Amino acid sequence: MDTDNLPIDSDLFSDDTSSFTARLHTTAPRTLVNNIPMEGTNFIAPFVPCTPEVALAALRFANATPLDVVGDLGCGDGRVLEQFLIHVSEKKNGNVISPRYPDANFKVIEGNMFEVGLEELGVDLFVLYLLPMGLDKLKKQLGDWLKAGVDGQKKRRVVTITYSIPGWNCDRAIEVNRQWLFYYDVSEIRE
């Protein structure tokens, strides 16, 4: 059975991989990427958007709820947060703007994602689609942000699309439509 074009639904993480394109893995693959073309430019990653299905799968993998505030550093055209608006959010929370949802409660921050104070954003979940070079540069900020949220009421987490965070051991990964999703919370930060 060709599972590559099946829709993603609430049973995304079923053990029956003949019915869904997602496969849960307990050992995550490592990723090796040539970052050299980005060196010496103002860009941390090229604009290569993920599909809406993968964006939605990332939100579901993180167990996003309507009470979450979701952030996407380097958000491109805001697809992850658009999927959050369409499929998860009741309150329309997020940290990007979508011209398709002008009434949504969004905060846009234009600036250097490596200099933004993650704690100040009030985010519970980051979904990131960046090259390993960008993830590596954000690693300390993300680790500090995850650790600072330990005493909070809401669990902080990070899901990365396609690439794992270099140097972190990820125990939870899933493959969706030939793209990997990697899940991190404070308990999974081990270098």
Task: Give DSSP secondary structure letters for 132-168.
Answer: HHHHHHHHHHHHHHHHHTTTSSS--EEEEESSPPTT-
Helix (H) or strand (E) holding 105: strand 105-106
At 175 the pLDDT is 92
Helix (H) or strand (E) holding 44: none
Q: Which pair of tokens denotes residue 95? A: 């940290």
At 112 the pLDDT is 82
Q: Which residues of the chain have pLDDT under 50?
A: 1-21, 23-33, 96-98
Residue 70 near residue 127, CB atoms below 8 Å: yes
At 41 the pLDDT is 66
At 120 the pLDDT is 85
At 85 the pLDDT is 80
pTM metric for this prediction: 0.74
* Cα 12 from Cα 174, distance rounded (Å): 10
Q: Name the burial class of residue 93, with classes exposed (0-12), middle (13-18) and buried (19+) by CB atoms within 10 angstroms of its CB.
A: buried
At 61 the pLDDT is 94
At 19 the pLDDT is 36
List the one residue out of 99, 90, 94 whose CA is nearest residue 72.
94
Helix (H) or strand (E) holding 101: none
